[in-house]
């Protein structure tokens, strides 16, 4: 299965600033997924990122708030913009390499103060 390196593992950010999260995969993948997870809660899909095209956002998530880059088949970034305390959460990237299973990054725990 794929190995994902996700950075940073945690950060504390000021209101109004932005945080960019990076995910690097050790193999080429078509789709990368970005999730948000409140501690102890289930996962909510933010968007799906395909290389060479704009990300597809789920209902309730917009590109201006969560811009995503996918410059190649092994890398993606998610930026959480104009931070507010409500953005405090865990953010996870995920890939599906072989079609039937998903691998996750270790997560980024964001605290907005």
Partner 1 sequence: AQSVAQPEDQVNVAEGNPLTVKCTYSVSGNPYLFWYVQYPNRGLQFLLKYITGDNLVKGSYGFEAEFNKSQTSFHLKKPSALVSDSALYFCAVISTGDSNYQLIWGAGTKLIIKP
Residues that bind partner 1 (CB under 8 A): 1, 6, 33, 40-43, 45, 48, 92, 94, 100-107, 109
When the beta carbons of 10 and 15 are compared against partner 1, the nearer one is 10
- Best CA proximity match to 34, nearest among 12, 7, 74, 66: 66
CB 67 within 8 A of CB 3: no
Instruction: Give the number of C-alpha atoms closer than 13 A to the C-alpha of residue 42, restricted to the C-beta side.
Output: 2
CB 95 within 8 A of CB 4: yes
- Least Å from the CB of residue 42 to partner 1: 5
When the beta carbons of 61 and 81 are compared against partner 1, the nearer one is 61
When the beta carbons of 75 and 104 are compared against partner 1, the nearer one is 104
- Least Å from the CB of residue 101 to partner 1: 6
């Amino acid at each position: 299965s794929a190995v994902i390196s996700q950075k940073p593992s945690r950060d504390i950010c000021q209101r109004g600033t932005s945080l960019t999260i990076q995910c690097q995969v050790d193999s080429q993948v078509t789709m990368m997924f970005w999730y948000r997870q409140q501690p102890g809660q289930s996962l909510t899909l933010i968007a799906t990122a395909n290389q060479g095209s704009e990300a597809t956002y789920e209902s309730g998530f917009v590109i201006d708030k969560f811009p995503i880059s996918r410059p190649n088949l092994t890398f993606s970034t998610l930026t959480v913009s104009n931070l507010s305390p409500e953005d405090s959460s865990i953010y996870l990237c995920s890939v599906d390499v072989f079609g039937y299973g998903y691998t996750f990054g270790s997560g980024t725990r964001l605290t907005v103060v």
